[in-house]
Amino acid sequence: MSTETINFKIGLSGTGSEHQCHFKIFIDDKELINELSSPSTKLYSFDTELTSGIHKLKIQLLDKSSIHTTKDELDNVSESYMLNIDSISIDDIDLGQLKWDMGKYYPIYPEEYNDLEQKKQAEIDKCVNLGWNGTWELTFESPFYIWLLENI
């Protein structure tokens, strides 16, 4: 089975709260980054060796809680933390629209939102702003360049 080494550059930022959250970045089930988010865009770069076949880039928001949300006097949310996926490039190729079109977000809704109609949505398409704990995934294939040509 053939392998290739791929370089990932992922720009992430945290907005909407003075408190930042932890996140992790995985390729398949291999944890590569485990950090506290930054309020400005921070670029995370790493190389990984992949075998031919299907793989998943995963970005997981871990510890958002009530301290990350501000409500007004009427109990309406006025500000809430979000982890933003600002950019993804693989081998110096910016995925641009592909991160929107092919990414899927699997939120974990907090207990206080049990009656929320949106809670029925176990998977959210075209979402790169993570407002709930959960995992964003991009499925891709190696060899990367063949997958890219088939999906642009």
Q: What is the pLDDT of residues 6-41, one digit of tens each?
A: 999 999 998 876 778 899 999 999 999 999 888 888
Domains held by the chain: number: 1
Does residue 26 belong to any structural domain of this protein? yes
Q: What is the mean pLDDT of residues 122-138?
A: 93
User: For the domain that residue 37 is a member of, what is the CATH number?
Assistant: 2.60.60.40
Rg (CA), the chain: 17
Domain that includes residue 76, residue range: 3-147
Chain Cα centroid distance, residue 13: 11
Burial pattern 120-148, b for ≥16 Cβ within 10 A else e, equals eeeebeeebebbbbbbbbbebebebeebb
Tens-place pLDDT, residues 43-98:
999 999 999 999 999 999 998 877 777 778 887 877 888 899 999 999 999 999 99
Does residue 152 belong to any structural domain of this protein? no
Does residue 141 carry a pLDDT above 80? yes
116 confidence band (pLDDT: 50, 70, 90):
low
Q: Is 9 exposed, middle or buried (0-12, 13-18, 19+ CB in 10 A)?
A: middle
Does residue 24 belong to any structural domain of this protein? yes
Phi and psi angles of residue 121, each rounded to the nearest 5 degrees, phi first:
-85, 95
Does residue 106 belong to any structural domain of this protein? yes
Q: Is the pTM of this model over 0.75?
A: yes
Does residue 31 belong to any structural domain of this protein? yes
Look up tokens 């499925």; give the residue: 139
115 confidence band (pLDDT: 50, 70, 90):
low
